[in-house]
Amino acid sequence: DGGITQSPKYLFRKEGQNVTLSCEQNLNHDAMYWYRQDPGQGLRLIYYSQIVNDFQKGDIAEGYSVSREKKESFPLTVTSAQKNPTAFYLCASSIESLGTDTQYFGPGTRLTVL
Amino acid sequence: AQSVTQLGSHVSVSEGALVLLRCNYSSSVPPYLFWYVQYPNQGLQLLLKYTSAATLVKGINGFEAEFKKSETSFHLTKPSAHMSDAAEYFCAVSDASGTYKYIFGTGTRLKVLA
């Protein structure tokens, strides 16, 4: 079955640690996205990638980093510089990055900072 | 700049009653509009999307939405609510002018009463 997988589903981090969230897709999509979801705030774009080896900052990129070395993979690292990382993180992909393209979402990773 | 407003962060309906979730948008170019549904601790699933074809869009699970340019609205409706419709619903706007980014509303949590 084609789709997007995210791992782990739940992640706990101590303050000062970097953690990496995995996102893999087998839909053969060029574009991939990372969103952060907080209660009552909807989804906010962290980073996006239109093609392999290229990515751009979204609206709230500070304290996060990404890589896009393979078409199917777009991992997100939450660094110690992110002041309030506790949130639900969603990865998405689309065929291309046109406004008409549907974004398909993974199941999410819930990150909690202890 | 584009924006989306979802009126009512919480909506309650009785089982079998009409579901109406409101979405108003602001866009300087012809918009593309989407409705997504999210069940607890899961990713987002596309319900329907409007991309300048028919103004009445039918989606999955019996939902539909009507694009009204004069009212800048894209309200989501379902004639008869089912218990399984209880979830959070997000409206999003995009466009094909090059800013392929989705702008999400803050979400409406639907509760269905037995």
Nearest to A36 by CA among A59, A20, A68: A59
Please tell me which residue, B95 or A90, carries the higher pLDDT value.
A90
Query: Residue A1: what pLDDT?
Result: 64
Q: Which of A7, A11, A47, A100 to mutate to test the interface with B (most CBs of B within 10 A)?
A: A100
Q: Which of A103, A104, A109 to mutate to test the interface with B (most CBs of B within 10 A)?
A: A103
Nearest-Cα residue of chain A relative to residue B90: A42
Classify B31 as helix, strand or coil: coil
Distance in angstroms between the alpha carbons of the first and the last residue of chain B: 41
* Tokens found for residue B105: 């509303």
- B43-76 pLDDT, tens digit per residue, is 999 999 998 778 899 999 999 999 999 999 999 9
Mean pLDDT on A2-23? 92
Inform me whether the pLDDT recorded for A14 exceeds 80: yes
Partners of residue A57 on adjacent β-strands: A47
Partners of residue A78 on adjacent β-strands: A19, A64
Q: How far is CA A23 from CA A32, A93, A108, B25, B98, in A?
A: 9, 10, 9, 30, 25
Inform me whether the pLDDT recorded for A32 exceeds 90: yes
Tally of CB atoms within 10 A around A9: 10
Q: Is A23 within 8 Å of A106 (Cβ atoms)?
A: yes
Nearest to B62 by CA among B49, B74, B51, B76: B76
Look up tokens 């997504």; give the residue: B36
Do the Cβ atoms of A99 and B99 come within 8 Å? Answer: yes
Pairing of strands B108-113, B87-94: antiparallel
Distance in angstroms between the alpha carbons of the first and the last residue of chain A: 36
- A41-71 pLDDT, tens digit per residue, is 889 999 999 999 999 999 999 999 999 999 9
Please tell me which residue, B40 or B95, carries the higher pLDDT value.
B40
CA distance B88 to A1: 26
Query: Residue B3: what pLDDT?
Result: 87
Query: Strand runs (DSSP E) across B52-104, as ranges?
Result: 56-58, 64-68, 73-78, 87-94, 103-104
